[in-house]
Amino acid sequence: MTFPDPATLLRHRPPAVLVREVIDFTGTRLACASMGDGPWKWPQLLEGGAQTAGLLAGTQPDGLSNQAVIADYRAVRVHAAGHTGPVVFAAEIDRRVMHFWRCRIAATATDGRLLLEGTVTLAPPGSATAA
Amino acid sequence: MTGCFADAAVGRDGARARLSRAALERLCDGHFPGDPIVPGAYVAGVMADLGGMVADGRALSQVERCTFLAPVRPADGLVAIASAPERDAEDLVVGVEVLDGERCLARGRFRFA
């Protein structure tokens, strides 16, 4: 599957777009190259992971639109408080509960060092949860 | 998430901060045009910053959970409240909420090692 430019799929607009292009897609896992080299603080790494999860959830059968919102983050391990350099953001489907999609996410430096990992739950727009 | 607190008070029972509307507006640049919402990851960052003020200078190791009950939009009067830290083995765990008046917009638990 050829993936369109993420910026055309996301509701985000620069400078909030943190993913530049899709570099791997297996159907249930998606990896994106970062937009720029940072410097990144951990919340930005988390946001990049969430954007990647949003793109992935949008590809699923009966998946979410680009109006989806964040319901929660769980078990986010911060391995690096910050980082300078390109980053690979990855998301993998963990489970779906009704209209909520939970994805495992990770941010990795190009040398393979894990910077951050955790899970994000995405919800359709209009849910009681939103961010 | 530097500069997000208009002021902050730290005591034995926790910490409380007023959030800077201008700083929150900056976090919303591009998120989203015409419908500004502070990205949840950045809200978590602000909450962790406040939690860190009561965590004896320890570094954040984990966001155990951060749940969003309503969108956090830039506004006057938003506050964040951190509880007193709980000891868990060698770590400290701090609960933090973001409130608009009495309405809770987000709550989370943050672990500091």
Residue B56 belongs to a domain with what CATH number? 3.10.129.10
The residue range of the domain holding B84 is: 2-112
What is the helix (H) or strand (E) element at residue B52, kind and residue range?
A: helix B40-53
User: Which 3 state secondary structure label does DSSP give A48?
Assistant: helix
| pLDDT, tens digit, 9 for 90 and up, residues A73-113 | 999 999 999 999 999 999 999 999 999 999 999 999 999 99
Q: Per the CB < 8 Å rule, is B67 touching A72?
A: yes
Residue whose C-alpha is closest to residue A49's, from A125, A121, A97, A124: A121
Q: Identify the DSSP state of B84.
A: P
Contacts of B43 in chain A (CB under 8 A): 131
Tokens at residue A61, please? 């059968």
| pLDDT, tens digit, 9 for 90 and up, residues A32-78 | 999 999 999 999 999 999 999 999 999 998 889 998 999 999 999 99
| pLDDT, tens digit, 9 for 90 and up, residues B26-85 | 999 999 999 999 999 999 999 999 999 999 889 999 999 999 999 999 999 999 999 999
Tokens at residue A115, please? 């910077």
Contacts of A131 in chain B (CB under 8 A): 37-40, 43, 68, 71-72, 106
- Domains in chain B, number: 1
Q: Per the CB < 8 Å rule, is A130 touching B37?
A: yes
Instruction: Find where tokens 């008070």 sit.
Output: B9
**Is the Cβ–Cβ distance between A67 and A113 less than 8 Å?**
no
**Is the Cβ–Cβ distance between A102 and A96 less than 8 Å?**
yes
B63 touches chain A (CB under 8 A): yes
Contacts of B32 in chain A (CB under 8 A): 11-13, 16
Instruction: Give the whole-angstrom CA distance, residue B71 versus residue A47.
Output: 15
User: Which residues 55-84 of A are in CB contact (within 8 Å) with B?
Assistant: 69-78, 81
ipTM summary value: 0.96
A113 touches chain B (CB under 8 A): no
Tokens at residue B95, please? 């609960």
pLDDT tier, A8 (very low <50, low <70, confident <90, very high otherwise): confident
User: Which 3 state secondary structure label does DSSP give A94?
Assistant: strand
Inform me whether the pLDDT recorded for A129 exceeds 90: no
- Nearest-Cα distance to chain B for A125, in Å, is 11
Q: Per the CB < 8 Å rule, is B45 touching A78?
A: no
A47 touches chain B (CB under 8 A): yes
B29 touches chain A (CB under 8 A): yes
Q: In whole angstroms, how far apart are CA B102 and each of B57, B77, B79, B89?
A: 29, 11, 10, 33
* Amino acid A131: pLDDT: 65
* Amino acid B12: pLDDT: 87
* Amino acid A1: pLDDT: 62
| pLDDT, tens digit, 9 for 90 and up, residues B89-101 | 999 999 999 999 9
> Best residue in A9, A19, A45, A47 to probe B by mutation, most B CBs within 10 Å?
A47
- Compute the CA torsion angle A70, B95, B3, A7 (nearest 10 deg): -10
